[in-house]
Amino acid sequence: MDPMRGSPSPCSSRPPSPRSPVCGEKLSSYVGIEAVLDQLKIKAMKMGFEFNIMVVGQSGLGKSTMVNTLFKSKVWKSSPQGLGGPTPQTLQLQSVTHVIEEKGVKLKLTVTDTPGFGDQINNDKCWDPILGYINEQYERYLQEEILITRQRHIPDTRVHCCVYFVPPTGHCLRPLDIEFLQRLCRAVNVVPVIARADSLTLEEREAFRQRIQHNLKMHRIDVYPQKCFDEEINDKLLNSKIRDRIPFAVVGADREHIVNGRCVLGRKTKWGIVEVENIAHCEFPLLRDLLIRSHLQDLKDITHNVHYENYRVLRLNESHSLPRGPGWVNLSPAPSGCPLLMHKPSKAHRRVQEDSDDD
């Protein structure tokens, strides 16, 4: 068990990089390294967790009910405007933040709803506000990260997961769905679900699911869990099982009924009670397990390591691609709500032209 020596590295201006470590020396007696796991847990419990989820879909698909069912509480105090009043003329994004605690674990949950999505007659570019919101959260994080005096813990408002509600037509994805998914998959983790699945029979659900999977593959839409981020063999197996069932056919309900003596969440109809948490009735438990019980940390990691980094690269590269000289653009922190990626280049071009005209 002769440990291979790393190369001796005298102090120099270039940091000496320790090289060729020994692989997997097993320690013969107790040292105590595994206690670091407990230390991690204690630290995590003290700091609490953050999770930001966004639900997107046309009105009436049961988004708010779904969120209530997921977190077993009335997340939305009152039903958002879309349900009661007239269809809103503009797409509004509404965010709600709650702190929920379970067995000592604190979770700061932020849910963003999008009433008015896809409700207009002309839905062209209806994804812009949503993309703008997502990018704005990235921008906020980036600004905090590049400060000189940074906060100890940067508040994370980036959207970790976007649940997209597909209406249960039974045919295939509509053009609006495809456009939206194509754009959003590049910026955020998207989990598509078949909403109001209690209007489809099991066979219809399967057929619908197959067709949607086919559509996704054809248009090269990479939904969560993305194949390219599977590292370990266990992850691959687990994720491929999940990928088989995407999109989940879900039903949301926040009323309780008595079935066989038990109290269950469900929708009561004249022909029976649809139990939400019964896997034979709908796939809500799968969605809940994916989002909360097993893949929450993974969602956050992919958002931080992949989507946020992509945004950062794009953003930092913008300043380099712009021409130098009297026409270079003032990159002061963008005003809130402005989707940067769409507008920055045009602003730059305009200003360059103005200056060159002056010259």
Partner 1 sequence: MASSEVSRHLLFPSHGAMKTPCMPSQMDDEQIQTKDNIRSLTMSGHVGFESLPDQLVNRSIQQGFCFNILCVGETGIGKSTLIDTLFNTNFEDQESSHFYPNVRLKAQTYELQESNVQLKLTIVNTVGFGDQINKEESYQPIVNYIDAQFEAYLQEELKIKRSLFNYHDSRIHVCLYFISPTGHSLKTLDLLTMKILDSKVNIIPVIAKADAISKSELQKFKIKLMSELVSNGVQIYQFPTDDETIAKINSSMNAHLPFAVVGSMDEVKVGNKMVKARQYPWGVVQVENENHCDFIKLREMLICTNMEDLREQTHTRHYELYRRFKLEELGFKDMGTENKPASVQEAYEAKRHEFYGERQKKEDEMKQMFVQRVKEKEVILKEAEKELQAKFEHLKRIHQEERMKLEEKRKLLEEEITAFAKKKATSEIYQNQSFLASGTRKDKDRKNSNFI
* Range 24-53, binding partner 1 (CB under 8 A): 24-29, 31-37, 39-46, 48-49
- Which whole-number Å values give the CA distances from 302 to 47, 82, 158, 298, in the listed order? 20, 32, 11, 6
Q: Residue 315 CB, nearest distance to partner 1 (Å)?
A: 8
Question: Which one among 316, 323, 347, 354 touches partner 1, defined by CB under 8 A?
Answer: 316
Of the pair 168, 252, the CB lying nearest partner 1 is at 252
Stretch that binds partner 1, among 183-191, 200-208, 209-217, 287-295 (CB under 8 A): 287-295
Q: Among residues 13 and 260, whose Cβ is nearest to partner 1?
A: 13
Residue 288 engages partner 1 in binding (rule: CB under 8 A):
yes
Report 91-150 residues binding partner 1 (CB under 8 A): 91-105, 107-109, 116, 120, 122-126, 128-129, 132-133, 140, 143, 146-150
- Helix ranges restricted to H, 109-169: 128-145
List C-alpha distances in Å: 293 to 4, 10, 296.
41, 48, 7
Among 253, 246, 288, 289, residue whose Cα is nearest residue 269: 253
User: Least distance (Å) from partner 1 to the CB of residue 338?
Assistant: 6
Residue 14 touches partner 1, criterion: CB under 8 A: yes
Single out the residue of 83, 172, 190, 173 nearest to residue 131, CA to CA: 190
* Burial of 11 from C-beta contacts in 10 A (0-12 / 13-18 / 19+): exposed
State which of positions 139-198 bind partner 1 (CB under 8 A). Answer: 140, 143, 146-152, 155, 157
**Nearest residue (CB) to partner 1, 39 versus 270:** 39
- Least distance to partner 1, CB of residue 200, Å: 26
Nearer to partner 1, 261 or 333 (CB): 333
Binding partner 1 (rule: CB under 8 A), the pick from 289, 323, 347, 353 is 289
- C-alpha 123/C-alpha 174 separation (Å) is 12
Q: Does 258 bind partner 1 (CB under 8 A)?
A: no
State yes or no: residue 244 binds partner 1 (CB under 8 A). Answer: no
Q: Provide the Cα torsion 256, 259, 261, 263; round to 10°.
A: -20
50-89 positions binding partner 1, by CB under 8 A: 70-75, 77
Segment holding 274, helix H or strand E? strand 272-275
Q: Are 244 and 227 in contact (CB under 8 A)?
A: no
